[in-house]
Structure 1
Amino acid sequence: MCHGFPQKSNCLSIDSELGLLAIGTKDGRIKIVGSENVEWSGHLKLCSNIKSLQFVPDTGSLMLVSEEPSSATQSIHRVQIENDKLDIQTVSPPPFLKKINSSCVVYRASGKSFFLLGTISGNLYNLNISTLHASDFVVYDDLMGEDGNELETSQRMISYLNYNGLNDLLLVVVNNIYLIVYDISRMTVAYRIKSKYPITTAEFDSSDASMIVIAFENGSYSIYKYTYTDQLTLNPLINDVFLYGKEPTTSIKKASLMINNNQNEEEILIFIGGMPQSTCGDKYTITVKNVTSHVVFDFDSPIVDFEYMIDGSALFVLCEQELVVIDLLDPEWKPFPLPYLYPLHCSPISCSNLISNVRENVYLALCDAGIQQLTQNQMFSLRQWPLMCGYGERPKAADLENRECTILITGHEDGSVIFWKANSVNLKPLLIYRSAKDFEGYSEPNSATSPVEYDEENELPPLRKAGLFETFCDDPRFAIQKLAFDEKTGNLVIGGRGGHVIVYELNSATAKLDPLTVIKVDMIEAVQNHQGNPKGPRSGEAPLPPRKMPMAYAVGIRPSYHCMIQLKPAVPIHALAWNSENDTVAVGIEFGYVVCDLKEKQITFKNSLLPAEDIIEIVNNDGQLSRFKSVKKTIRQSFRRKKRPMAIEAGIPETGEPSSSMIENFRPTEREIVARPKNAVYNVSKGDTPPSSIRMLRFLKHNFGFEKEATLLFVGTSGGRVFIYQIEKSEIIEENCLVIRHIQMAHEAPIVHVEIVNDVLLIISEEQIRSFTIPTLKLTKFKYKMTAVEGSRITKVQTVCLRSAKNRGATEQFLAVLTHRGEIFIFSPWNLKKLVKIQFTKCTDGTAINSASLAKDGALFWLRPGGSEFQRAAISACSNYGLISPFRDRNLV
């Protein structure tokens, strides 16, 4: 199951009768949605590009035309909703159709409906929706009459088709020049006209089909009123209008005239494009205009298509990166908040965390805060979501049994943190918090939806920003690098790219807080005092300035302890750990770590692990280490993922003896097993990862040989070192936070995770899983050498508690390990026996592997390519999270 906005969206259709919306993509995916928890998904077998997609009203059927990109072979599909699934039937067009260029559904409530196909030869064909059998409808000569000889054979394509069932008339555009009104009931041409300008679209109005709106390639449009008794006549109401002046304008891609039945049948003109080239040529706009209002909605991504409800209540705008639904019954034409198809990448996701078994009071507090945030947000319409299919129906009771309170938390590059409802069919935002408000220069998003005043003298369009997707972020230091969430208390900890750490708490009332106290942590102070700093302090990584004025916080989350941590230098946060019992936060960076007591607003202890000369080099490197390293790593991985040449091309000697270059040509899924040289030299300025880099921080509770249970802090580095600290609860000072053990793994691989199971300490590095007895920390016989046996590197680890498929009340604990090749290994935590191996994504899908997040209940989320969708799976049997099937007791066929 996928959540979010489908990448490569290419077409849109609305069924106003059933209250359904369908989207087709360029990679052959189909998604149909209704009200909340009503969703169907399907996929064409050949991953073909869906060129057009149209509902057959009130039948639950979709007619599709697809094209295979490699061969340009076309196919026709009928998609039928059948209870909880989609039935897809596919046929290849007969040879006489040549190539389909346009299509439309001819729906007749009293007669037989069919699918009309326009071809490049100028002929129209009738496709039976039930049998998918094609037959002749109108040939080119009958359609064009005497004007047919004016066009060459290559110019006779049917450019556009539009049908209105009230008068049984069909609009046909031939070669973007000829507009033909065809009477289907009489099977004759009622009107034919040659346009002065190339036509892009021609459509009937949405009410009584007495008007036709024509859009032109030069950016103008015309509206005609027609009468039809024995002969059809067209009377121009508006002819060749350039709404924003006659200077060069962008083409109008599509235009419609909608009659709003709920607002005294007022006419609303909607069109894509038509903007002045000089001022708005680079904008993606859609104009909505009636007698009293005029708004140009400005989007951040190209507009693909738009559709509207037949009663004129809502406008659906499909862009390449998002779906926006505008409430046309709202006086200010506000957008609806999306219950699904949310653009997860509105700001790129920089980190994510999947949390299961959230305490009910914490979960309800998040839900209540989200509802209040939505109702108080003046940017959105509060009216009911317009798609009503399945509205009011409840999931089956069996689907809600053993339902966990699960949330997904995402951190974004603009500093936003979004809580998502992850235990339902639709991934729905619960609460949104913008951490940028805790820094200087932040201003609340403009809640006013009225557009700017229209400048008649300069003819400037009244633009209004629309949609959630944004292309750029003002400052990369806002990006959330790491997240930690306490499912018992609701505390949220964020670590930013600018070296800041803030702890938040849930609050049920509004509050106005003074500026936060900054706990400054100088990680290079000791080195500077020891060797001096001849080249001056680090200047390239200045921290974000905290706000200086009081800030009002709404119900939801707000800074806890009235303080924040700021590291010097302001390097990205690599690891976070939070202990709510001791009010202690641990922060790891590239060359050390620090533990702070937030209740006392003081530094408990800090430790810099990098040699002095390397820290000096980082300090004087103008902040380029982390950025250069990430760019270098991205480029390196991109080249490694390219296909390796054949063995002969690689220059392997014919004798079969290995050449020296063979060692360097490993595939990205292979890893050479060699002994690491001691005291290996690494170059910090070239982006080499220092062994001091903190990979893991974790608080655990165990007696560890003491008289009573103690709080332990585990610190894991990239060099295979593990530090174990005991944190005294009585007085958290440096003297009471001692290193009780220090372990150096012989293979020196980065430490990924630690876990305590039945008085056994499991230390998991990228290459091995080793077990140690507690408290002696002696090696046991149970171990697993992942890289040596499987050829994989461990990236993430989670202890999962899985339910039995037969007895949902029975659970068992396992160790789940994710690797860099898109695999999940399930181990027994008692003896480290491998139980099963699962391939959840391709080994070359770096986005999915890096973003994969596994919850304790076995739920798995990862980002699909493009970053706009989460793929959801489970490593154990689970329910469908309350999926509603509104047509379970209805035969739509």
Structure 2
Amino acid sequence: MKRFRRHGQESQRDKLKQELFQFNKTVEHGFPHQPSALSYSPTLQLLSIGTRSGAIKLYGAPGVEFMGLHDENAAVTQVHFLPHQVELVTLLDDNSLHMWTLKAHKGLSELLEIGRFTLTGPPGALPSVTRVTAVLAHSSGELLLLGTEGGHVFIVEVPGFRELEERNISLDQVASSVPEDYIGRRNLEHVEALQENPVNPNQIVIGYGRGLMVIWDLEKQCALQHIPATQQLESVWWTEDGGYILSSHSDGSYCRWMVGGEDENEEEEKSDIPYGHFPCKAISKIQFKSFNVLGALVVLVEEELVVIDLQTEGWPVIQTPYLVPLHSSAITCSHHVSAIPLKLWERVTAAGDLQKTHYSKKPWPITGGQNLAPDPPQRDLLLTGHEDGTVRFWDASGVCLYPMYKLSTAGVFHTDADPNDNMNQGTEGEWPPFRKVGCFDPYSDDPRLGVQKIHLCKYSGYLTVAGTAGQILVLELNDEAAEQTVEAKVVDLLQGQEGFRWKGHTRLDVREEPVLFPPGFQPFALVQCQPPAVVTALTLHSEWKLVAFGTSHGFGLYDYQQKNNVLIKCTLNPSDQLAMEGPLSRVKSIKKSLRQSFRRIRRSRVSLRKHHVNNAAKVLQEANARLEAELAEMELAPVQRKIEARSSDDSFTGLVRTLYFADTFLSDSSHNSPSLWAGTNGGCVFAYMLRLPPVENRADEPVTAQQAKEIQLMHRAPVVGIAVLDGHGAPLPEPLEVAHDLARSPDMHGSHHLLVISEEQFKVFTLPKVSAKMKLKLTATDGSRVRRVGVAWFGSSRSEDYGESGLVVLTNQGDLHVVSLPAVKMQVQYPCIRREDVSGIASCVFTKHGQGFYLISPSEFERFSLSARYLVEPRCLVEVPLRSGSSNQHRPHAARRVMEHALLNDESEYFRERDRRDCIITMEQAYHV
């Protein structure tokens, strides 16, 4: 009977799990890594970007995003939308062509691959004959023209990818019609460009690498005109009225050619080199537009997308709502804050708006598709710390990761940066005189500025930022600019211990003079650790006005209201010499360790030779006993510790991995008090009882700390997380959360429990006795180690009133686990990140509602969800465009507002001297910004 009852309970629990947990990778935030192709559809108003990894991404109005991935591990070299359709074609560097479509399913569009094709030549033909170098999607929407390396043009019917052999244009056909006096007629080289006549779809221009351009009639299958340019050809453009062809060349020049119909003598050449006869790079793209249709210029460069407003004086940049380069400076850490109060949100937004005055006021010009996703249920912030000492605030509420505000900590310190630097100011003496635009600037003036830890209190507006050189800044949100001096408090974590000498970098020099801080987060307190090692743990309690910090040498507690040190604890052991040498000295320690190991082996061999042969069995027995004793001391787990050594950080047993504030029972079960908990790399947990003066005396009386407990885990695995559970088994609420009526008061009547999460297991202790109650082993079971952990709330997808708290865990295998609280039982497990992706695992950050982010490249976050209720993903629809009459279907779309792959320069006078009706856009790769 019990067996049936237990089976029924298990099936009911499995059903409940399905209502609580569901794993999805939802959307990728940021700028695509290594972009390689760009295309724009004027009818769909969609932008497409291909990457070297084979990804294809489509963007429309904010929130309209699609992604596809080619099965082949090949770079996307070209992307082309089929006119007036929802299909597009991609060309990969393995010479394969792929057809994609936006297919509607249950009211939403999906990007699906519907066909692939590889051009095949005649038997025995060289690969160059069919190596595609240029693609033209014909305005009929039914043909693809493929120019090849061998100089041929193949015509393929789409969407079926059927080659129309009778309509192909061979190199011999073209060469036979070239005038005898053309110097390059014997070797025209590859097809560099294909363009269609905007007013006559039966005519195309074929541009060859050596410079020759041929106007070809598709219906009559003959050449109408030859344009004998002599410079290496880069790009071709046919003007909208069909009267001229523009060509750009490898020497930095461009030419305008009159289209003379069948009379080849009517052609007229006009050549120009925009920047004189100085050596110039090739103009790899040229387009010609009338001023009355110019709207925006989209510039795709290797690390960012820049959109220029061509209708506003000065051509300012338009703020991008997506595709923002997260790695403007390399990301060093992340911090997510859920459910931001409206007041704080508005203040951060206002401070960010003051930083965006140089942007254009024009709306985002790419508006394709419909965003059908519901409004986000709450306001979420993602904070990223960067190598240059900045903290960027991102709106992470929805599909678009939108930049809100940027905080710079460099102004507090003396660095090599020039405070008068302005990336938008031109530099005198530079030629050509390009104006620098964009925000990608990966260079850091001082690596010590790098931000390593961030903690934001969403209720009080206090922010603490910790860096590479042991600096901890406490900041508060101010709506007005303020000039103030930031005084530094030096904390000696070694506490006068002798025999230790720091060999790493020095502390940052603090500015002694007042600094003018703009509206936003402004620093008012600074702590500098000595030795100035990287801050490895940080937490803030804004209700108590305390901040705790830890490094590889110890941890401290700082009262930022009185600006005094409350506690300093050195965790450094005599064996932790590596902690004093810095990261660049570890190789010496490895050599020393190997040397000592070989010496021990030699000594053991010598001692064995001295013994008689008859004692060999006894010696072997003693050696085995010593080995077993050493293994017992190390407490090796059966699987993991045999197949994987500890990471380099594990050698720092005193390194502080986690810090935690809690109001709980430490001395006895009847009196709760504030406390601070610290966990180290050596499996040690320190607990300190804090005495806070009454509120009316808080500014005068000191805060005191007294050590109450010290726990040493038997397996000595690094402690990566600590949490206290109240009498109901629920995690304690955040500081000020109860005061703002956003959480229930914790149960202080039942007994509290301490949850210690190490890399190898989850262990629950009773408080205040700190006796072990239950544990869940991870490493001994499947060989995994905990790398990231967080507490999340999982709401039921069927009932609004039901939900559970759980631990979200990411292991070194890249797997996600959810562990129940307070029973610490494994609930679900999902593979998420490749185990080889060490940086992705290290960058993972969890949210309070079962979501997470991790870096899939230096410039992109992957967003995932473990919650069945709370999901942020693109939900959008792109409708098939209605084609107009035949007289207009081949004409350029009147609303075409975007031109791809071009570069803006600041020589506005150069264009003003030309006819005000026309504008030529050129790109020189040497001056990409």
TM bracket (short chain): 0.7 to 0.9
Return the match for 2:468 from 492, 497, 500: 497
Cα 1:745–1:446 change in 2 (3 A) is same
Contact 1:492–1:503 at 8 Å: present in 2 too?
yes
Partner of 2:567: 605
Distance in 2 between residues matched to 1:741 and 1:765, nearest whole Å: 18
Partner of 2:198: 165
Partner of 1:77: 99
Shift of 1:18: 2.9
Shift of 1:773: 0.9
Partner of 2:916: none
Task: Output the amino acid matched with 1:428.
Answer: Y
Shift of 1:630: 10
Partner of 1:14: 40
SS of residue matched to 1:463:
coil
SS of residue matched to 1:362:
helix
Counterpart check, 1:625 vs 2:625: no
What TM-score, normalized to structure 1?
0.80
SS of residue matched to 2:346:
helix
Between the two structures, name the one with larger relative contact order (CA 8 Å, sep ≥ 6): 2
The 5 Å alignment of 1:469-480 reads: 469-480=440-451
User: Deviation per CA, 1:391-423, whole angstroms, max 9, x where unpaired?
Assistant: xx6645xx337x232221110000110111112
Partner of 2:364: 385
The 5 Å alignment of 1:40-59 reads: 40-59=66-85
Task: Output the amino acid matched with 1:251.
Answer: A
Contact 1:515–1:546 at 8 Å: present in 2 too?
no
Counterpart check, 1:197 vs 2:168: no
Distance in 1 between residues matched to 2:715 and 2:34, nearest whole Å: 44
Distance in 2 between residues matched to 1:823 and 1:77, nearest whole Å: 34
Shift of 1:170: 1.9
Cα 1:727–1:87 change in 2 (3 A) is same
Partner of 1:321: 303
User: Deviation per CA, 1:808-830, whole angstroms, max 9, x where unpaired?
Assistant: 44211112221111111111222
Shift of 1:126: 2.2
Larger radius of gyration: 2
Please give the root-mean-square deviation of Cα atoms over the aligned residues, in Å. Answer: 3.4
Partner of 2:380: 406
Cα 1:28–1:630 change in 2 (3 A) is farther
Counterpart check, 1:671 vs 2:635: no
SS of residue matched to 2:781:
helix
Contact 1:79–1:89 at 8 Å: present in 2 too?
yes
SS of residue matched to 1:487:
coil
SS of residue matched to 2:799:
coil
Shift of 1:465: 2.6
Cα 1:348–1:750 change in 2 (3 A) is same
Contact 2:472–2:527 at 8 Å: present in 1 too?
yes
Return the match for 1:481 from 452, 476, 494: 452
Shift of 1:709: 3.6
Partner of 2:89: 63
Task: Output the amino acid matched with 1:93.
Answer: T
Task: Output the amino acid matched with 2:481.
Answer: A
Higher mean C-alpha deviation, range 739-748 or range 190-199: 190-199
Counterpart check, 1:760 vs 2:753: yes
Task: Output the amino acid matched with 1:527.
Answer: Q
Shift of 1:789: 0.8
Partner of 1:742: 710
Structure 2 unaligned spans of 5+: 1-26, 123-128, 594-626, 632-637, 730-751, 885-929
Partner of 2:553: 591
Return the match for 1:555 from 512, 519, 525: 519
Contact 1:784–1:832 at 8 Å: present in 2 too?
yes
Task: Output the amino acid matched with 2:154.
Answer: Y
Question: What percent identity do the matched residue pairs reach?
Answer: 25
Distance in 1 between residues matched to 2:644 and 2:120, nearest whole Å: 64
Cα 1:822–1:228 change in 2 (3 A) is same
Counterpart check, 1:460 vs 2:431: yes
Contact 1:13–1:53 at 8 Å: present in 2 too?
yes
Distance in 2 between residues matched to 1:670 and 1:145, nearest whole Å: 74
Task: Output the amino acid matched with 2:470.
Answer: G
User: Deviation per CA, 1:694-730, whole angstroms, max 9, x where unpaired?
Assistant: 1111112223435444222111111111001112221
Return the match for 1:87 from 105, 109, 112: 112
Return the match for 1:581 from 523, 529, 543: 543
Task: Output the amino acid matched with 1:21.
Answer: L
SS of residue matched to 1:382:
coil
Partner of 1:821: 813
Shift of 1:343: 1.0
Shift of 1:450: 5.6
Cα 1:260–1:882 change in 2 (3 A) is farther
Return the match for 1:4 from 27, 30, 48: 30
Contact 1:512–1:550 at 8 Å: present in 2 too?
no
Partner of 2:143: 114
Return the match for 1:102 from 121, 127, 133: 133
Cα 1:175–1:31 change in 2 (3 A) is same
Distance in 2 between residues matched to 1:250 and 1:827, nearest whole Å: 59
Shift of 1:878: 4.3
Partner of 1:349: 331
Contact 1:29–1:47 at 8 Å: present in 2 too?
no
Partner of 1:853: 845
SS of residue matched to 2:121:
helix
Cα 1:213–1:891 change in 2 (3 A) is closer
Contact 1:711–1:726 at 8 Å: present in 2 too?
yes
Distance in 2 between residues matched to 1:228 and 1:451, nearest whole Å: 45
Distance in 1 between residues matched to 2:341 and 2:334, nearest whole Å: 19
SS of residue matched to 2:285:
strand
Contact 2:44–2:881 at 8 Å: present in 1 too?
no
Partner of 1:265: none
Partner of 2:662: 700
Shift of 1:606: 0.4
Contact 1:491–1:503 at 8 Å: present in 2 too?
yes
Contact 1:101–1:159 at 8 Å: present in 2 too?
no
Shift of 1:884: 5.4
Partner of 1:544: 508
Distance in 1 between residues matched to 2:337 and 2:587, nearest whole Å: 27
Counterpart check, 1:725 vs 2:688: yes
Distance in 2 between residues matched to 1:602 and 1:848, nearest whole Å: 38
Return the match for 1:236 from 264, 269, 276: 269
Distance in 2 between residues matched to 1:12 and 1:159, nearest whole Å: 17
Distance in 2 between residues matched to 1:811 and 1:231, nearest whole Å: 78
SS of residue matched to 2:172:
helix
Distance in 2 between residues matched to 1:222 and 1:844, nearest whole Å: 51
Contact 1:61–1:81 at 8 Å: present in 2 too?
no
Cα 1:630–1:193 change in 2 (3 A) is farther
Structure 1 unaligned spans of 5+: 263-310, 637-659, 664-668, 677-681
Cα 1:451–1:523 change in 2 (3 A) is same
Shift of 1:629: 4.6
Cα 1:879–1:605 change in 2 (3 A) is closer
The 5 Å alignment of 1:260-409 reads: 260-262=290-292, 311-374=293-356, 376=357, 378=358, 380-390=359-369, 395=372, 399-400=374-375, 403-409=377-383
Contact 2:494–2:553 at 8 Å: present in 1 too?
no
Task: Output the amino acid matched with 1:259.
Answer: K
Cα 1:750–1:104 change in 2 (3 A) is same
The 5 Å alignment of 1:748-787 reads: 748-757=716-725, 758=729, 759-780=752-773, 782-787=774-779
Partner of 1:289: none
Higher mean C-alpha deviation, range 799-808 or range 600-609: 799-808
Shift of 1:101: 2.0
Cα 1:476–1:175 change in 2 (3 A) is same
Cα 1:232–1:816 change in 2 (3 A) is farther
Contact 1:703–1:710 at 8 Å: present in 2 too?
yes
What TM-score, normalized to structure 2?
0.77
Distance in 2 between residues matched to 1:10 and 1:359, nearest whole Å: 41
Partner of 1:713: 676
The 5 Å alignment of 1:631-710 reads: 671-672=640-641, 689-704=651-666, 705=668, 707-710=670-673
Counterpart check, 1:129 vs 2:158: yes
Distance in 2 between residues matched to 1:164 and 1:770, nearest whole Å: 73
SS of residue matched to 1:482:
strand
SS of residue matched to 2:867:
coil
